[in-house]
Structure 1
Amino acid sequence: MEIVKLTDQNIQDEHICCAISDKKCNSGYEKKKSWLKTEFRNGYHFQKVNVRGKVFIEYVPIENSWLPLTGKNFIVINCFWVSGQFKGKGNGKKLLRQCLKDAENLDGIVAVSSDRKRPFMSDPKFLKHHGFEIIDEAAPFFKLWGLKTTANASFPKFMDTAKSGTCPDNKGITAYYSNTCPFTDYYTNQVLRAYAKKKKVPLTIKHIKNREDGQKMPIPWIINSVFYKGQLVTLEMKVDRHLDKLIK
C-alpha cells in the first residue's frame, strides 16, 4: 500500500483519517484541514497509508513546532496512529521510515509520549523498539523520546515552563485545546461546557491558536488537556468519568 502525502492541492479530496464518519465532529474536521493548510507552509507533513482508516503520521521541523520544546535541526512527531485491522502489518514501520527519510539532512526525530501507552500519544513501546530513548521528562507522566541520526547532535528538551504538570488557574475546570485534532472542538466547546454547567463548576477554556500560545503551555501537550483546581486530570476527550471522581 502506497503512502500519500497531503498537500494544498489534494487535501480537499483526501480524508485526514480521524473522525472520518463522526458527523458530530464535522466542524472540527474542517478546522483541522484549515489548520493543516496553514501549517503546510511551515514544513508540516501529513503522511498516510492509502487506506480508509487511521494509519498516519504527522511531523514538523522543531523550529516550527507548536510544542514547548527547545532545540534545533530535529523533526517533531505530532501524531502517529495505526489502528484496528491495520496494526501488526508493518504500517507503523513504513510511516516511520518516511519520517526518517524526510529527516535525513537533520539531526534526528523526537516525539512526546509517556511512561506507558496513553490515548492520542505515540506508543512508547514502538518508539523504544525502533531505537528511541527517553531524553527528558515532565510532570506528571510526560516523556520526550528521541532518536539521533547525527551522533554528536544535542537532543531537544522540554521548556522549563512546561514541566510542572499544573496550570495557573486553580478555580474549577480549565481546559486547553487546539485545532490540531478534529475531535477537540466538539468535546471541549459542547460536551465539556454542558458537563460544567450541569455540575455548576466554573469553566475556563483556553484555545491554543498559534505557536506562541502552544509554547506557553504548562505541560508539553497542545491537543487537549483538562485541569481541575490547577491539577492535570486527563488528556482524553471524554472527561466525565475522570472529573466525576473529583467533583462531588
Structure 2
Amino acid sequence: MSSDPKIITVDKKNIADYPDCICFINARHPAHPQKINWLQKRFSEGLRIKLAYVPGQKKAAGFIEYVPGENAWRAVSAKGYLFIHCLYVYPNKNKNKGLGSMLLSECIKEARQKSMNGVAVIAGNGAFMAGTELFYKNGFSLLETDGQGNDLLLHKLKDEPLPVINDWKTELTKYKGLHIVYSKQCPWVARMVKEVTDSKTAKQLNIQITELQTPAEAQHAPSLNTVFNLIYNGKLLSDRYISLTRFNNILKKEKLI
C-alpha cells in the first residue's frame, strides 16, 4: 500500500462521491446543496477541483479550486491564464507536508498542457486567504496589490499580456446606503447572508443584498475578493466572510445600530 498522498479530480460526474470537497460542511447541512448547485453550473465554465488524500485519513487533507481566467470569480482580468479561487490544507496536522505545493503543481501542469500563459491567484495573509509564502515558494511573483491586504500573484509560463486587477474602487463608489454583495461560491457566506436577511436588522436598515450570479458580474464587483462584501456609502467595511456577531459589531462601530 502506497504511503504517498493521492490526488482526485472532482467533476460533475463524481462530485456525489466526494461530499467533503464542500468547505468542511456536512453533507446534511442545508448550505451543502447550495454549493453543489453553484459548482454544477461552474463545471461547464471549466472549473476544476482537486482533492489530496493522505493514507489513513478518511477526509480530504487538501483542496484546490481553479478555473480559466475569463471565468474567474474575482475582480480581475486574466484571460489566457488559469485562475485559482481557493487552496487549503486542513487540519493543522496535514500542513507543512508538501500537500499545498502538490496541489499547485497539478494546476501549473494543467496550464502547461493546455498551452496557457500561466497561473494567477489572489492571496494574502488574512483569514480565509491562502498565504503568499506558499505561492512564492512555488515560483509565483507579485503583480499588484489592492491596498486591502490582497495580492495578485502570477506563475508565468509565457510572455503574454499580464493579468490585472480591475477597477473595483470605482465600482465601490456606486453603492449608496448599506449593501451586502456576495456570491454562493462560499457556503458559509450563503448561510450568513440568509441569517442577515431574516433578521430584524435587515428590515430596520433597509439592507440591499445583491448576489453575483455570473463571472462577468464578479469581475466587475465592488471589491477584489468577491465572495462577500459589506458596504456602506461607498466604503468597504469587510471583504471577508464574517459571522453574524461580527456583522453586528461592525454596524455598531459605524453607528448604524
Q: TM-score, normalised by structure 1?
A: 0.87
Structure-2 separation of matches of 1:35 and 1:220? 20
Q: Give the percent of matched residue pairs that are identical in Structure 1 and Structure 2.
A: 24
Instruction: Structure 2 unaligned segments of length 5 or more: list them.
Output: none
Match of 2:119 in 1: 109
Match of 1:32 in 2: 35
Note the alpha carbon deviations across 1:51-107, whole angstroms, 9 max, x for none. 515620000111222323224211100011112222111110111111111111211
Equivalent residue letter for 1:30: P
Mapping of residues 100-179 of structure 1, within 5 Å: 100-104=108-112, 105-114=115-124, 117-150=125-158, 152-160=159-167, 162-164=168-170, 166-171=172-177, 173-179=178-184
Cα distance, 1:177 vs. partner? 1.2
Cα distance change, pair 197–219 in 1 and its aligned pair in 2 (3 A): closer
Cα distance, 1:156 vs. partner? 0.6
Cα distance, 1:164 vs. partner? 4.7
Note the alpha carbon deviations across 1:222-246, whole angstroms, 9 max, x for none. 2112123321112123133433322
Structure-1 separation of matches of 2:186 and 2:72? 15
Given that residues 138 and 163 in structure 1 are in contact (C-alpha distance below 8 angstroms), is that contact kept between their aligned partners in structure 2?
no
Structure-1 separation of matches of 2:6 and 2:232? 44
Confirm whether residue 72 of structure 1 aligns to residue 79 of structure 2: yes
Cα distance, 1:2 vs. partner? 0.6
Structure-1 separation of matches of 2:144 and 2:181? 23
Structure-2 separation of matches of 1:237 and 1:54? 24
Cα distance, 1:215 vs. partner? 2.2
Equivalent residue letter for 1:3: I
Cα distance, 1:187 vs. partner? 0.2
Cα distance change, pair 19–55 in 1 and its aligned pair in 2 (3 A): same
* Number of residue-to-residue matches in the alignment: 240
Given that residues 171 and 221 in structure 2 are in contact (C-alpha distance below 8 angstroms), is that contact kept between their aligned partners in structure 1?
no
Match of 2:242 among 212, 230, 237: 237
Moved more, 185-194 or 6-15: 185-194
Name the structure where helix makes up a greater proportion of residues: 2
Equivalent residue letter for 2:189: T
Cα distance change, pair 207–197 in 1 and its aligned pair in 2 (3 A): closer
SS at match of 1:12: helix
Cα distance change, pair 243–195 in 1 and its aligned pair in 2 (3 A): farther
Structure-1 separation of matches of 2:216 and 2:108? 27
Equivalent residue letter for 1:67: R
Given that residues 113 and 123 in structure 1 are in contact (C-alpha distance below 8 angstroms), is that contact kept between their aligned partners in structure 2?
yes
Given that residues 70 and 159 in structure 1 are in contact (C-alpha distance below 8 angstroms), is that contact kept between their aligned partners in structure 2?
yes
Equivalent residue letter for 1:185: A
Cα distance change, pair 163–142 in 1 and its aligned pair in 2 (3 A): farther
- Return the structure number with greater relative CO, CA threshold 8 A, min gap 6: 1
Equivalent residue letter for 2:87: F
Equivalent residue letter for 1:159: N
Match of 1:189 among 168, 186, 194: 194
Confirm whether residue 11 of structure 1 aligns to residue 15 of structure 2: yes
Q: CA RMSD in A?
A: 2.2
Instruction: Structure 1 unaligned segments of length 5 or more: list them.
Output: none
Note the alpha carbon deviations across 1:24-67, whole angstroms, 9 max, x for none. xx332212111211211221101111351562000011122232
Equivalent residue letter for 2:175: D
Q: TM-score, normalised by structure 2?
A: 0.84
Given that residues 78 and 111 in structure 1 are in contact (C-alpha distance below 8 angstroms), is that contact kept between their aligned partners in structure 2?
yes
Structure-2 separation of matches of 1:237 and 1:218? 17
